[in-house]
Structure 1
């Protein structure tokens, strides 16, 4: 592709995102839903070449990684450890309430048992990328309910470290021994990364903490991409690898990095969300719109209850419980990935998952924005609690 055409197409996409971001600012909402709709519009009216589409795809992956990295910067290793221990029960509830609807829906739609298991994975996983963007956009990273949201996302990624190797082995007809080895490798890689982040975080902070902002940015950005790539090779989420790098950094270096990385995060995060919209095949919408909508409604309720219940256990009051539930609703990057694994088993699984992800990614951020108006409706008999979160 000529360089001029590449620049023109990429420039048009980024300018569209700029206008969308300004519109979201005027409306006082997170730009995520508008980015998704912009992606759909661009996909319907523009035919991007292979090079721009590949660039946007890579940018989307970097966006997901940076979103989780910056979320990790907000927490110390001890806070993460305590939150995971305190929210194990929420993690179990999350599996029961949010994996089951997808599994049952798959069976009702006539999918094979393995394809139904894949749809269960699609409905189970909150998009940690969208959740972290909502928290940052609405200024809620320091809220009392945020550790519950964080714990749910991390526990889901731990579950995925076992789930994905099993599913991948079953798809290629692997033996029981091969499945066991894949699961052990993934879990061991996650445990090792977690241990290194907790044990050697202060040392890493001292090593990368240089006076030059340029050198610090390059050091941290390169480290995040290397760890994310290594995590992906070991069948652990690339985003969770980046998250653990964020956890490992602390003190002055974390503060400086947070400021330096923010513009990069915002740029690639916008690309990340528009890429979802670009992936949606509008021609397949009518066939799977009804099941996708029903599944989105049911699992929005179950995921909302997961967050509400978890925040209530943590002593958070009604408005914070509402925020926790709404922030956990969106599904995203991993759901699309899981659906892609089963396209040979059920051709409609891909379009169904894409529409489902889009709907939940619209519902969650909008509900999270209007917590002040909606939370009192769910707190009957205890109106005083809605004033603080």
Structure 2
């Protein structure tokens, strides 16, 4: 692809993603699945106009989008939320992960696609989309609801699990030969995580002084350079670049420049994140989604049941009634960026080719069902066999 063709394709990708997302937003759909749809419609596997013949031509832009997504997630990570929630928050988050990740792992083994594929499916089915969840809370006006703090707490616990999970699964996906090599690669991954965690705990003041600058332009160059550099070092060490990006975001988020960085990185994250989702869509053959329609439908059903059970358990542990339980379950239902990250890693590792279309169909369906169900929880409560009057029994301490 020549220089002019590259610019045309890149500009066309941004414009197409924006147009389709704007159309979808009018009926209340989140942008993540719509960016994927734009990629599918303009990709080489769909009849009609083809914007990009080879998705690999956008590989670097897609990688940058992934780095910025995880970097921003790290910036938004608040250790104070864990301290405030205490053991109960870890217990609730643990139950949520146990039910959903456990169900995903069992489903993966039942499919018979392979052990590595089952481990990937466990993460795909088990982790909510932080981007869609936070967007839903804003759009539905529930930021002030008593159960919202619990929802955000579960997301924080998921973020911790995400970092550890990626560190553990990378050597497995990389095809480490023998137990010794696998343990060595896992040791490197967790050692790297430990170094960054120590830096986050004890080095934020020093790092804050190094990165602090009044000029916004220089600050953008500084944090962007740090995110990409640490992601590259992670990849060089055999650790997923996403882990390094997440951890450097966590470190910089704790500095005095953290609030400015969050504000400045937001448009970059949105722009290149859109390209990441668009490029994932380019690699999808709609015909392949039809082949895995059965497993997708089963996985969606498992996820709905798992989230409902986890939502009821979380609500009861915190003294909430039926409506907050339905709000928790529906808000955490959507799957998005983390599933696509795992899909990208699985494709790079040469895993079963059915994983990519499976992830696409699964994410598309849940990214639509999640927001729609979150908007009708009052209607859903009696139809789920719950008692709508129970929410009046929320104890005073849970409302704070």
Measure, in 1, the Cα distance between the counterparts of 2:70 and 2:140. Answer: 16
1: distance between equivalents of 2:139 and 2:233?
A: 29
Distance (Å, rounded) in 2 between the aligned partners of 1:133 and 1:270 = 15
Pick aligned residue for 2:282 from 278, 281, 291: 278
**Which residue pairs with 2:207 in the alignment?**
204
Matched with 1:20 is: 20
> What is the number of equivalent residue pairs in this alignment?
383
Instruction: Note closer, same or farther for the CA distance 1:7–1:96 as it changes in structure 2 (3 Å cut).
Output: same
Q: Which residue matches 2:169?
A: 163
- Residue pair 2:170, 2:240 contacting (<8 A) in 1 also: no
User: Does the CA contact (< 8 Å) of 2:66 and 2:341 recur in 1?
Assistant: no
> Superposed, which structure 2 residues align to 1:253-292 within 5 Å?
253-292=257-296
* Aligned position for 1:98: 100
Q: Give 2:341's aligned residue.
A: 334
Aligned to 1:245: 248
Q: Relative to structure 2, which stretch is displaced further, 116-125 or 181-190?
A: 116-125
1:272-304 Cα distance to aligned partner (Å, 9 max, x none): 222332222112222211121111221233145
Residues 99-248 of structure 1 mapped to structure 2, 5 A cutoff: 99-128=101-130, 131=133, 143-144=148-149, 145-165=151-171, 167-168=172-173, 171-172=175-176, 174-248=177-251
Cα deviation, 1:62-115, whole Å, max 9, x if unaligned, reads 333323333433454444566586543345434532334344434444434554
Q: 1:21-67 CA deviation, whole Å, 9 max, x = no partner?
A: 3334433443223222222222224434467x345433333333323
Aligned with residue 63 of structure 1, among 62, 65, 68: 65
**2:299–2:362 contact (8 Å) kept in structure 1:** yes
Q: Which runs of 5+ in 1 are unaligned?
A: none
Tell me whether 1:361 sits opposite 2:364 in the alignment. no
Q: 2:9 maps to what in 1?
A: 9
**1:199 Cα offset (Å):** 1.4
Question: Offset at 1:214?
Answer: 0.6
For normalisation by structure 1, the TM-score amounts to 0.81
Distance 2:134 2:279 in 1: 17
Is the 1:33–1:361 contact (alpha carbons within 8 Å) kept by the matching residues of 2?
A: yes
Q: Name 2:300's counterpart in structure 1.
A: 296
* Length-normalised TM-score, structure 2: 0.79
Aligned-residue Cα RMSD (Å) equals 3.5
Shift in CA distance, 215/71, structure 1 to aligned 2, threshold 3 Å? same
Q: Tell me the alpha carbon deviations over residues 168-212 of structure 1, each in whole angstroms, 9 at most, x when there is no partner.
A: 36x45x222222222222222212212211211122222212111
TM superposition shift of 1:218: 0.9
- Where structure 2 has 5 or more consecutive residues not aligned to the other structure, the ranges are none
Deviation for aligned residue 1:242: 2.8
Where 2:257 maps in the other structure, the secondary structure is: helix
Q: Which residue of 1 aligns with 2:390?
A: 382
- In structure 2, C-alpha distance between the alignment counterparts of 1:358 and 1:19, rounded to whole Å: 18
